[in-house]
Amino acid sequence: MQSKSTRGVQQDEVWAAADALIAAGERPTIERVRLKIGRGSPNTVSPMLETWFATLGPRLGVALAGAQVEEGAPKELRQALDKIWAATLASARDEADRALEPERDRLAQQGLKLDIARQELLQREAALTERGIALEHALELAKSQLRDQAAQLQKAGRDLAQARSSLANLIQERDAGRRQFDEQLRALAEERQRIEQRASANEKRLLEEVDRARQEAKYSARMLKETIERHEASRQELDATQTKLEERVHRADIDLATLRERIQASESLVIELRKAAHANQTSGVAKKKGLHGKATATRGAASSKRS
């Protein structure tokens, strides 16, 4: 049974080429057979050529050394053919070895490259294993950090809810304090209005009294001037009357100055209350309570002055 090469070279083609070379008086070699066929690699041609050499003796009627010699063949011919056969076989084997040497070198180089690639693959596999272990550690660390962050986030959520509740309470307290302050401010405004009304009435009354006193003084002076000549004897009494009138005018001026001071104090109190109202919006309810006490003390002082 003839074998078929992987490149399509048939064994009978190799044998036919070798027979043609023998017929032409040439020694069949791997390269000559390949040139004769026109294709085929040394690896493919070499075993087929060896098979051809193995069957050459029986086909020529020549046995190998020690084998039974066919009758009818001259001894000299058989010896010559044996020598040719041995020389041809040795030459073919040498040529086959030389032809296969590059392939062996290539296979050796390829094996070396494969060993290097295997080492690199092992190193890469070890590096990947180490990297996998590092990634697993990093993943566990990331999971732990995520758990910690989740716990912190939950705590932050609770703190935020508590802060919102506290803020709502503070807003309620602020609104209550603002309403209380507004009520106090309205009360102080009403008190200021009453003080201003009383001060205006008192000022009007004092001005009327001063005017009357001045009119009386003018009238008295006129009357005095008119009666000097008639009542020269009562001059001392008239001087005493004039002195009393001047004292009344002086007291009226003092009362008027006192009333003006009270009005100015009331205006200063209103300005201070307005400033306190502005500061109370940022400082809280405690500040407002202190301001209310101060306002109460001021009203008490004002009441004491009026008394």
Classify residue 152: in a domain, yes or no: no
* Same domain (yes/no): 191, 81: no
Which pLDDT score is estimated for 2? 45
263 within domain boundaries: yes
- Quick check: is 174 in a domain? no
Q: How many domains does the chain have?
A: 2
How far lies 67's CA from each of 8, 52, 56, 200, in Å? 36, 19, 14, 164
Q: Residues 90, 185: one domain?
A: no
Do 292 and 209 reside in the same domain of the chain?
Answer: yes
pLDDT at position 15: 92
141 assigned to some structural domain = no
- Enter the pTM of the model: 0.26
Model pLDDT, residue 6 = 45
Domain boundary among 50, 85, 108: 108
Domain final position from 81, 108, 135? 108
Instruction: Kindly state whether residues 185 and 285 are assigned to the same domain.
Output: yes
Neighbours of 248 (CB within 10 A): 16
127 located within any domain: no
Residue 103 sits in the same domain as residue 214: no
pLDDT at 230: 77
Q: Determine the pLDDT at residue 221.
A: 75
Residue 226 in any domain: the answer is yes
pLDDT for res 76: 67
In a domain, 85, yes or no: yes
pLDDT along the chain (307 residues), means of 10: 57 91 86 90 89 80 49 62 71 72 78 84 88 89 89 89 89 88 87 85 81 80 76 75 86 88 87 81 62 60 57
Q: Is residue 284 part of a domain?
A: yes
**What domain range includes position 284?**
180-306
User: Among 82, 108, 134, where does a domain finish?
Assistant: 108
